[in-house]
Structure 1
Amino acid sequence: MSVKTVVPDETFAAPAPAGQLDRATAALRDNGFIVHVVDSATEARELVTGLIPGDESVFTTSSETLRLSGIAADLDESGRFASVRAGAEDPKGDVQAVVRLGATAEYVVGSVHAVTEEGHLVIASASGSQLAPYASGARKVVWVAGAQKVVPDLETALRRVRSYSLPREHRRLQKFGQSSFIGKILIVEREALPERATVVLVREPIGF
């Protein structure tokens, strides 16, 4: 089902206060994630590109956070990294081909739609193409998220996905004559493999 008339709930656009961000950071670390907190998207860009080795394959998921921060361009267009997207043939709408590309990369870089104070991450997707490498396909995963994505609990996180992230994505796609819907939702509660998953929290809002 596509979204046609829902107005985004702009209460989810405001960055979380410092105390809430601190609680989410501590919980994420307790749940097995490496966490970096930075002040700006520029700092996140410098940090993330420093985390990715130039000789390891990297897959960037479709993300406004990565696009707006310049991270996607750095990883896919600079020529300094072994970008899976840059080196692959055009899948021409073949979603399964995109899924296979991402699942075989050593590193996957993307974003999430919500981070809870309990240290859980929520990612929604229409096709699910980014979920396979996020969950287990990639050897390393790096998520970048603005502070506006930090919410108290899982119930609020799912409400944020449906009442803010989805309508914003629908509006973005309308410019291209498309629409959006939620096909699959991934909830990451804990990372079992040491040092596999890194979360970069940005104190300023970026993405949706």
Structure 2
Amino acid sequence: MPSPEAVCLTIRAIEERGVQVIPAADGDDALSAIKKIIPAGAEVMRGSSRTLVEIRFEEYITGRKSGWIDLHSVITSADDNKKRADLRRKSVTAEYFISGANATAQTSEIVACDASGSRVGAWPFVAGHLILVVGINKIVPDLDSALHRIREYAFRLENARAGWAYGTPSTIGK
């Protein structure tokens, strides 16, 4: 775990890039913050994230308690492959896109990997509002360390998840 000083340094570096950081004491606090940010009736798409499962976000949104439009459920309930593909493309433009990240550098870079690439478009370009839920256990000193964490730790987990979810291994891309 990083020191409190490293956490503060990381938050400061990220905020210097114009990104708002909302520290949370624990998973309950993080879920509470998300509930305050996303208004009722909003379209919400999520990237696959163990962190979101751990803070019970998945349980909350799929339990229909949120009052949000859960685009992931809309996509997975579509019974036509073409319709499902169209919905997936549109989902990256969701009003709110929420996901985790696999590493956060003290120098402000936030890095993620996933088999489908669902975060690739939503993060930097098209989601109306991006919410990243990232545990302090993912803080590393610099970008090289973040990429090392991706290759040596996160990719192994994502590769296993991709095999289970898609029946195919993941790959390391860009």
Q: How does the TM-score come out when normalised to structure 1?
A: 0.73
Q: Deviations over 1:132-165 (max 9, x none)?
A: 1112111100000111111111000000001000
Query: Deviation of residue 97 (structure 1)?
Result: 3.9
Cα 1:172–1:99 shift into 2, 3 Å:
closer
Q: Does 1:90 align with 2:78?
A: yes
Structure whose residues are more often helix by fraction: 2
Counterpart position of 1:21: 7
Question: Partners of 2:121 and 2:88 in 1: how far apart?
Answer: 7
| Structure 2 counterpart of 1:202 | none
Classify the secondary structure of the residue corresponding to 1:35: coil
Comparing 53-62 with 150-159, which one deviates more in the overlay? 53-62
Percent identity of the aligned residues? 22
Higher strand share: 1
SS at match of 1:141: strand
User: Do the aligned partners of residues 143 and 93 (structure 1) sit closer, same or farther apart at CA in structure 2, a change above 3 Å counting?
Assistant: farther
Count matched residues: 171
Structure 1 residue aligned with 2:36: 50
For residue 40 of structure 1, report the CA deviation from its aligned partner.
Answer: 0.7
- Is this contact kept in 1: 2:103–2:149, CA < 8 A? yes
Which structure has the higher relative contact order (CA within 8 Å, separation 6+)? 1
Could you list the runs of 4 or more consecutive aligned residues of structure 1 that deviate by over 6 angstroms after TM superposition? 91-95
Partner in structure 1 of residue 127 of structure 2:
138
Gaps of 5+ in 1: 1-14, 186-208
* Contact persistence 1:60–1:75 (CA under 8 A): no
Indicate the residue corresponding to 1:66 in structure 2.
Answer: 52
- Does structure 2 conserve the Cα–Cα contact (< 8 Å) formed by 1:49 and 1:74? no
Tell me if structure 1 keeps the 8 A contact 2:51–2:133. yes
**Aligned CA distance change for structure 1 residues 147 and 98 (closer, same or farther; 3 Å):** farther
Unaligned runs of 5+ in 2: none
Alpha-carbon distance in 2 for matches of 1:58, 1:69: 17
Aligned to 2:137: 148
Please, what is the CA RMSD of the aligned residues?
A: 2.3
